[in-house]
Structure 1
């Protein structure tokens, strides 16, 4: 691929490759791509843009020719330069494993057969076999970090160890094997710690995560990000460390706003990692609802999605039917005549109090949520049932002392709420 970044020199390189292929009887597919234009349109550096354009071409040609392998010309010097750059910038095992000798592409295997030999060895081979080659003039400048390392750092390293290519090749191979083992372990553990998952949210068991060694905790978090299809380019070790800190040290609830509109929430025994938008965050914090229930019967509410039924007596068949229809069913009973209609189903309000069964005084609903370890993000939407005299039921948590049933023979009203 001619990147069109070096003008006539690049055109001559392309013509030279095409001529060599004709002489050797090798099929050649060459293409010109305006990388500078692509970089500008996609707001990328020229290096990143060039790589994207190259691999797009590779995938296209591989698909058209049903190719199963793509051989690239990276060699041992490239590996040394890559390792030095990553050491300087900071990297984990995946980064320090360097450029892989082989890896899976879109529909083909990428192989790099020259990784254990250096540029000098390749040049010597070409001279001995009288094979001509062209030098990219941009390689001679110190404009890029890689070039600077090549010209100033690599020669010093070779003075320390002339066999550096082979040593680096063996070292990266060992690191890669250990990295793959840890990744496999993390994949097994992530299946255990995930309690539920959707397109935009994953819920994990906090107690199980804490039992994992720190390196596996870190890998589990990174896997979760990939499951949510989150680009990690704007994430750094600092962000992962913040999550690890709240897993291990923070008490109670904690919320972190992370890059790429990701929110990490720790609540009691669970950790949530989710993709949110600023609009959805605002909606969650300001949502209020209030529904009037004027008589016995069945009610359907969309905000939040709740189904509610009120009827006289006890109906075991109805209870079983609701338990099969909904993932969660709350149920309670009141003495007939003890409730002052119309009832109101709403979310919490500041200062809400209830007199629970067995308690002489009143208790704040806020304290009930805390005592029952209700996640903070669920408290705003949690349904509360009131009549004209006050709160009679906080479903799933507490019901009022008023209208309590002492015998099944009494005339009672059954109330059930079903949610998904």
Structure 2
């Protein structure tokens, strides 16, 4: 136990913050890595606990990233907990394996695993709050990271002192220098993590390279960034109070998922789509915006409402960029047809005549054959252009007379012609699904589309991205490759539907 008292300035400053974060009788789970920040937090709360009537516990997750050093950190925390006579909850997690499975950065994988562990312990052992060791310099670094990424006011408001009602940060107004001074004065040991000096990580480059340069311009840069953060945070809270009523006015919950019997089987026997996915799939959940109400608002309000809907579904807006928000706004402004946009973390945005829906899917939207390709499916109701944002390609449909089209048998593969009396709207445009079958023009019978792609030596990425045009559940054009038998031009054709593919990507 450190030899200090409440007149200690360090403890007094943490006490001011702690009184805003805790209520008498709270059970607090302290996340302790063994590093300087978490050790200082642990000892500070140990000192403050009697006066605030707090019950304390310790949680430590071994990330297994540093071999024996990770095990030594775990032992250090265990012995520290025993010295302080506090319950200690330990666990190991293979973060590298988690990273590979979930296709995340190492930093994000570690963060997810930690928070899941802390929340699990909190629930299982009856803790009210989880206390983390983020401090003022961490906040300054995050603000600069978000600034470099082009974040708006929300990102520049930094790390909140409390989140979700149970994540709290008592050190958020304390600097790293104050923490190290406290540990030195109290002769408190801690462990060091060499990865904190690894400048391959952006946060470390900001800490060790950018901030020292900025201090040459303004020695108080960290304090100024934290002050800006506090101003923006209070303004965000005020704006949120204005946005919430607008959100409630513009949205309504989606109806319950339909049962299998009620919704039928959307996949035909040939593996082709017979109709678009339902607004709320089994396991999905979301909200529907009124298009007219959303579009009547100022563009800034629209962006905030869209972010709020995503936040509601996934719990945060990590990996959601300005371009994602603008894509949703662009979708809302289109005047015809159903459209889909897929965002990170299984968020699907779908627009139809009833409104624009935000849905969190239970299963991944990614294709099983490729972690880099996302399922897409669009409906086009009439001739015109349609952009497919997932692949950066555009399809254009127009009616022509037989005299206008001329020779059709030796045209580029980015063009296709169909009998407009046979091929009628609506058409569906999507990418490959397992089990798809295709009857190429001039061939008797169908074959697996996968086999066709192999025979024409299509690259795997092209196979998974290639737009397929379907009419009545039949694939009529493998865009950029070949048309099908269904809807082919015959001597009896009077009216022609011309289809064109334009792309800046890998699709030909």
TM beyond 0.5: yes
Superposed displacement of residue 72, structure 1: 0.7
Superposed displacement of residue 196, structure 1: 7.5
Superposed displacement of residue 11, structure 1: 1.3
Counterparts of 2:238 and 2:247 in 1: how far apart (Å)?
Answer: 14
Cα distance change of structure 1 residues 23 and 264 upon mapping to structure 2, 3 Å threshold = closer
Q: Which residue of 2 aligns with 1:211?
A: 296
Counterparts of 2:290 and 2:246 in 1: how far apart (Å)?
Answer: 11
- Cα offsets for 1:294-345 (capped at 9, x unmatched): xxxxxxxxxxxxxxxxxxxxxxxxxxxxxxxxxxxxxxxxxxxxxxxxxxxx
Superposed displacement of residue 42, structure 1: 3.0
Superposed displacement of residue 25, structure 1: 2.7
CA contact (8 A) 2:157 2:233 kept: yes
Cα distance change of structure 1 residues 26 and 226 upon mapping to structure 2, 3 Å threshold = closer
**Residue number among 154, 178, 183 corresponding to 2:211 in the alignment:** 154
- Cα offsets for 1:216-263 (capped at 9, x unmatched): 111122334456669866653223224435656x6x436543124845
Counterparts of 1:89 and 1:257 in 2: how far apart (Å)?
Answer: 26
Matched, 1:61 2:121: yes
Q: Which residue of 1 aligns with 2:399?
A: none
Cα distance change of structure 1 residues 240 and 10 upon mapping to structure 2, 3 Å threshold = same
Q: Which has the larger radius of gyration?
A: 1
Superposed displacement of residue 87, structure 1: 0.6
Matched, 1:124 2:181: yes
Q: How does 1:68-79 map to 2 (within 5 A)?
A: 68-79=128-139
CA contact (8 A) 1:70 1:111 kept: yes
Counterparts of 2:140 and 2:253 in 1: how far apart (Å)?
Answer: 43
Superposed displacement of residue 181, structure 1: 2.4
Secondary structure, counterpart of 1:273 in structure 2: strand
Secondary structure, counterpart of 1:257 in structure 2: strand
Counterparts of 1:220 and 1:155 in 2: how far apart (Å)?
Answer: 38
**Residue number among 231, 244, 250 corresponding to 1:193 in the alignment:** 250
Matched, 1:240 2:325: yes
Counterparts of 1:55 and 1:240 in 2: how far apart (Å)?
Answer: 26
Cα distance change of structure 1 residues 254 and 160 upon mapping to structure 2, 3 Å threshold = farther
Counterparts of 2:378 and 2:339 in 1: how far apart (Å)?
Answer: 16
**Residue number among 132, 136, 140 corresponding to 1:80 in the alignment:** 140
Secondary structure, counterpart of 1:5 in structure 2: coil
Cα distance change of structure 1 residues 187 and 59 upon mapping to structure 2, 3 Å threshold = same
**Residue number among 72, 92, 100 corresponding to 1:40 in the alignment:** 100
Superposed displacement of residue 48, structure 1: 1.9
Q: Which residue of 2 aligns with 1:180?
A: 237
Counterparts of 1:71 and 1:196 in 2: how far apart (Å)?
Answer: 34
Superposed displacement of residue 147, structure 1: 0.7
| Alignment gaps of 5+ in structure 1 | 286-348, 352-379, 381-420
Secondary structure, counterpart of 1:30 in structure 2: strand
Q: Which residue of 2 aligns with 1:222?
A: 307
Superposed displacement of residue 82, structure 1: 0.7
Q: Which residue of 2 aligns with 1:272?
A: 356
Counterparts of 2:117 and 2:95 in 1: how far apart (Å)?
Answer: 12
Superposed displacement of residue 112, structure 1: 1.0
- Cα offsets for 1:4-35 (capped at 9, x unmatched): 10011111122222222323333322222221
> What TM-score do you get using the length of structure 2 for normalisation?
0.49
Matched, 1:253 2:320: no
Bigger mean CA deviation after superposition, 197-206 or 49-58: 197-206
Q: How does 1:398-413 map to 2 (within 5 A)?
A: none
Q: CA RMSD in A?
A: 3.5
Secondary structure, counterpart of 2:127 in structure 1: coil
Q: Which residue of 2 aligns with 1:133?
A: 190
> What TM-score do you get using the length of structure 1 for normalisation?
0.58
Q: How does 1:290-305 map to 2 (within 5 A)?
A: none
Cα distance change of structure 1 residues 2 and 234 upon mapping to structure 2, 3 Å threshold = closer
Greater percentage in helix? 1
Counterparts of 1:150 and 1:93 in 2: how far apart (Å)?
Answer: 22
Counterparts of 2:349 and 2:127 in 1: how far apart (Å)?
Answer: 42
- Cα offsets for 1:76-120 (capped at 9, x unmatched): 221111111111112122211111111125xxx211111222222
Secondary structure, counterpart of 2:74 in structure 1: helix
Superposed displacement of residue 177, structure 1: 2.0
Cα distance change of structure 1 residues 158 and 262 upon mapping to structure 2, 3 Å threshold = same
Cα distance change of structure 1 residues 43 and 207 upon mapping to structure 2, 3 Å threshold = closer
Secondary structure, counterpart of 2:89 in structure 1: coil
Counterparts of 2:103 and 2:158 in 1: how far apart (Å)?
Answer: 27
Bigger mean CA deviation after superposition, 22-31 or 132-141: 22-31
Cα distance change of structure 1 residues 62 and 137 upon mapping to structure 2, 3 Å threshold = same
Secondary structure, counterpart of 1:66 in structure 2: coil
Aligned residues: 283
Counterparts of 1:79 and 1:280 in 2: how far apart (Å)?
Answer: 38
Q: How does 1:314-325 map to 2 (within 5 A)?
A: none
Cα distance change of structure 1 residues 3 and 228 upon mapping to structure 2, 3 Å threshold = closer
